[in-house]
Chain A
Amino acid sequence: MEIDHLGEVMAVKYPGEQEVALFVPGSAEVALCSSEEWQAAKVLISQEGLHRLGDQADADELPIGQGLRDLLRTLGASVG
C-alpha cells in the first residue's frame, strides 16, 4: 500500500489497482480518482502550491476529474 502526503491531502493506493483514495483529515470524506489524475494533481500542487487551486479558472484548467477538482479547490480555499 502506498500512502502519499501532500499538504493536507492523504492519498492511498493499493497494489495492482488504478484507483486512488484521497482524504483530508477533518473532512471525514474520501474522494476517488485515477492514478493519472493524482499524478497530474501532485505535479501541479508541488509546482504551484495548494493556494493556486482555489482560483476557479486555474481549477478548471486542471486535467483531472470534477470530484478531485472540487476537493482540491476546497483545499485551496482552506489554505488560501
Chain B
Amino acid sequence: MTSVPLGSLSERQITQCLAGTGLGLAVGKFRALIRSDTDLLATPLRLLYQDYVCDPEATGFFDFRINLMRERDYPWNDWVVAFDWEGSSPFPSLPLAQTHPLFEWGLNWCVATASGMDTVIHSAVVERDGLALVMPGQPGSGKSTLCAALTLSDWRILSDELTIVAHADGRVQPVPRPVSLKGTSIDLIRERFPGADLTVPVTATHKGAIAYARPPTAAVLAVDRPVPIGFIVFPRFKAGTELVFEELPRAVALAELMENTFNVGLLGATGFEALARSICSARCYAVEYGDLTSILRWVDDTCTPQR
C-alpha cells in the first residue's frame, strides 16, 4: 500500500485518482476512500489536506467509501452534486459549486456515524498543555470562529465540529480537519491571521458563504495523541457586548453536553456514565462575549492547568 502526503501529489494527479478508483485519505483514526467526477475537489483538498497521509492506489480497508458525483435529471438542467456513503446519504443534492463544503459535511456525518461506542458531541475542541478545551454551541454561538482563532494561535485542533470522547478512557480522540468559517468570520480570520491558508469562499450555501482554514501541520501529525477534558466552555457571541462569564457546576455542564450529543441516546447507561466520568476533572464555564480579542484573552487567562 502506498502512503504519501497528499501535498506530494499534483492537482491533476488528485483529480485523476478521484475520477478513477478513488483516493484513500487518512482522517484521524479513519480511512476514507473518496471518488468524485466533479473536478472541484482537487484544489481545496490539496490545500487543506496537504499534510494528511493519502493512498493514491486506493488499496486496503476503508471505513468509508464516499462518492461526490455529478448528476442532473434532464440535459437542460444544471449539474448538481450528490453525496453518498455506499448508497446512503442524509443530504440533498446541491449546486455543483458546493462540492467541497458537501464533502466536508459528508465526512462529518461519516465520522459521527462510525464512532461506535464513543460519545460524539457537537462541539469544537482544541488542546494545550495536555488538556482538551471543549466548546459546544449552537449555530451562531461563535464556536467555529473561536476554534479557528485558537487553532491558528498556540492551541492544537482536535476537531472543529465533532468531539469524540473514547468510551474506554474518556479521552478526546483527535480527528483534525479543516476549520469551517462562515460569513464575516472569513474576513475576520483572514485579517487576524494573514499567513493562514484559506480556501476561496463558496457562496450561496444554506449557511451563507463558507471557507475553510488549513489545520497546522503539527496538529495533523499529532493524530495519535488523545487527551483528557480539562475545560468545557459554552460560548455565546453577542456583538458589542462586554465579556461576562460564570463557572458552571459539572452536573449542569453534563446536562448541557447531553443536549449537544449525537449518540448518547443510543449508548444508554454506559455511555452516560462514560461521559460523566470524562468531565470529572473539567472546569466548566458559560461565556458571553462581543469580540474575538476579549474571548481569546479570557481563554488564555482561564484555561490553563493551574489558575
Q: Which residues of A contact B (CB under 8 A)?
A: 1, 3, 10, 12-14, 17-21, 23, 25-32
Majority SS of interface residues in chain A? strand
Residues from 219 to 257 in B contacting A, C-beta threshold 8 Å:
249-252, 254-255
Chain B residues within 8 Å of A13, by CB: 251
Known: A3-B276, A10-B273. A28 touches B258 (CB 8 A): yes
Of A18, A27, A28, chain B has the most CB atoms within 10 Å of the CB of: A28
Q: Which residue of A lies closest to B255 (CB)?
A: A30
Of A10, A13, A19, A27, chain B has the most CB atoms within 10 Å of the CB of: A19
Q: Which residues of B contact A (CB under 8 A)?
A: 249-252, 254-255, 258-259, 264-265, 268-269, 272-273, 276-277, 280
Chain B residues within 8 Å of A10, by CB: 269, 272-273
Residue pair A17, B269 in contact (C-beta under 8 Å): no
Q: Which residue of A lies closest to B282 (CB)?
A: A14
Number of A-B contacts (CB under 8 A): 52
Residue pair B254, A28 in contact (C-beta under 8 Å): no
Chain A residues within 8 Å of B265, by CB: 26-28
- Bound complex: CA of A23 vs CA of B259, how far in Å? 12
- Bound complex: CA of A20 vs CA of B273, how far in Å? 13
- Bound complex: CA of A22 vs CA of B273, how far in Å? 11
- Bound complex: CA of A23 vs CA of B273, how far in Å? 10
Chain B residues within 8 Å of A1, by CB: 276-277, 280
Q: Which residue of B lies closest to A13 (CB)?
A: B251
- For the complex formed, measure the closest distance between the CB of B259 and the CB atoms of chain A, giving whole angstroms: 8
Q: Which residue of A lies closest to B261 (CB)?
A: A28
Known: A28-B258, A29-B258, A30-B254. A12 touches B276 (CB 8 A): yes
Residue pair A12, B264 in contact (C-beta under 8 Å): no
Residue pair A17, B251 in contact (C-beta under 8 Å): yes
Chain B residues within 8 Å of A23, by CB: 258, 269, 272
- Bound complex: CA of A18 vs CA of B251, how far in Å? 9
- For the complex formed, measure the closest distance between the CB of B5 and the CB atoms of chain A, giving whole angstroms: 41
- For the complex formed, measure the closest distance between the CB of A70 and the CB atoms of chain B, giving whole angstroms: 15
- For the complex formed, measure the closest distance between the CB of A76 and the CB atoms of chain B, giving whole angstroms: 19
- For the complex formed, measure the closest distance between the CB of A60 and the CB atoms of chain B, giving whole angstroms: 24
4 tightest Cβ-Cβ pairs between the two chains A and B: A28-B265, A19-B251, A25-B268, A30-B255
Chain B residues within 8 Å of A25, by CB: 268-269, 272
Q: Which residue of B lies closest to A11 (CB)?
A: B251
- For the complex formed, measure the closest distance between the CB of B158 and the CB atoms of chain A, giving whole angstroms: 23
Chain A residues within 8 Å of B255, by CB: 21, 30-32
- Bound complex: CA of A19 vs CA of B259, how far in Å? 17
- Bound complex: CA of A78 vs CA of B66, how far in Å? 42
Residue pair B264, A28 in contact (C-beta under 8 Å): yes
Q: Which residue of A lies closest to B263 (CB)?
A: A28
Q: Which residue of A lies closest to B269 (CB)?
A: A25
Chain A residues within 8 Å of B268, by CB: 25-26
Q: A1-B277, A10-B272, A23-B258 given. 4 additional CB < 8 A pairs?
A: A3-B276, A17-B249, A17-B251, A29-B258
Q: Which residue of A lies closest to B256 (CB)?
A: A30
Residue pair A14, B251 in contact (C-beta under 8 Å): yes
Chain B residues within 8 Å of A12, by CB: 251, 254, 272-273, 276
